[in-house]
Amino acid sequence: MFFTLLLQVIWILAAFGDEHWTYEGPHGQDHWPASFPECGGSAQSPINIQTSSVTFDSELPALQPHGYDQPGTKLLELHNNGHTVQLSLPPTLYLEGLPQKYVAVQLHLHWGQKGSLMGSEHQINSKAAAAELHIVHYDSDSYDSLSEAAKSPQGLAVLGILIEVGETENPAYEHILSHLHEIRYKVRSPPGQMTSVPPFSVKELLPPVLAQYFRYNGSLTTPPCYQSVLWTVFSQKVQISKEQLEKLQETLFSTEKEPSQSLVQNYRVLQPLNQRTVLASFNQDESSYTTGEMLSLGLGILIGSVCLLLVVYFITKKIQKKKSRNEKSVGFTSAHATVE
């Protein structure tokens, strides 16, 4: 009897004690540092990426995802952990182009309130996107497991992909979103209420240009906020349809059952950059032109070149004319001279 009671108390403590956190309310983000000290650290994520203040680093190579486009045959597990929707990834997916080899573990999403177009965690020039995808990896050369790596500097590498609303449905994201209705309620710990997703090319979730990204040292954006993440936030955004965003915002609950609470607005507020450097793999000035600007620039250069050519042509012609006139007169004078 006593032991059963004790076990129950331990179970309740484990479930609702320090482990319990939310985005708002009495266990909301302002209170995270009280239970999770690292959340009050000086190298936290997410951040606002101010492109005028980033440092261009020509040594940063294009990121190379391996196995991302080879879905394999195993089903992928998708579950609602009350904070987000999370898809487990096999270790056949890994990243090169970072200081170490990082293998994939899981991916999950962050989004805003119903109808909101601001739900990303990272911002670029103080502008939030509608949602954000995080693909979590750990340094498998140096550590045996995710939990071990998660506590060590640069133990983790997370890819951040900003998501905006576009005209058409994104079929890659539909591989995840079409299953949300199967996992509407939270499960405490897997394996619980889970669903299986047929394997698909995770590469399609990434933006087309992988060579343009921002890199900085930061943290997990949820408790325990370990400052162990080497962040890569892609400059290019991906697009999903308005209907897809609504599905993400309206399907899930953060609770196990009644009374149910919508799982929305699961993003952390911006954290101070402090003394950190944000690197850019690309030169802002060269790539920040739009197609229109590019066209007018090209046209400007063309017209300028034609004008310059014309000027040079006429000047040369004039010089030649003058020269031949001079030559004639010289011939004349010399002829004159001989005659003399």
Q: Is position 274 an interface residue for ligand NAG (rule: CB under 6 A)? A: no
**Size of interface with ligand NAG, in residues (CB under 6 A):** 5
Q: Is position 42 an interface residue for ligand NAG (rule: CB under 6 A)? A: no
Residue with the shortest CB distance to ligand NAG: 217
- In the set 79, 83, 179, 336, the catalytic residue is 83
Q: Is position 22 an interface residue for ligand NAG (rule: CB under 6 A)? A: no
The minimum distance between CB 20 and ligand NAG, in angstroms, equals 31
Q: Is position 268 an interface residue for ligand NAG (rule: CB under 6 A)? A: no
Sole window of 18-26, 167-175, 212-220, 235-243 interacting with ligand NAG (rule: CB under 6 A) = 212-220
Residue 181 among the catalytic residues: no
Tokens encoding 246: 């609504």
Q: Is position 122 an interface residue for ligand NAG (rule: CB under 6 A)? A: no
| For ligand NAG, the closer CB: 23 or 213 | 213
The minimum distance between CB 277 and ligand NAG, in angstroms, equals 5
Rg (CA), the chain: 30
Q: Is position 152 an interface residue for ligand NAG (rule: CB under 6 A)? A: no
| For ligand NAG, the closer CB: 229 or 240 | 229
Cβ neighbours of residue 41 closer than 8 Å, sequence gap 6 or more: 219, 225, 227
Q: Which position among 8, 70, 277, 333 is part of the footprint of ligand NAG (CB under 6 A)?
A: 277
Q: Is position 216 an interface residue for ligand NAG (rule: CB under 6 A)? A: yes
Q: Is position 284 an interface residue for ligand NAG (rule: CB under 6 A)? A: no
Using CB under 6 A, list all residues that contact ligand NAG.
Answer: 215-217, 277, 279
Query: Catalytic residues, which ones?
Result: 83
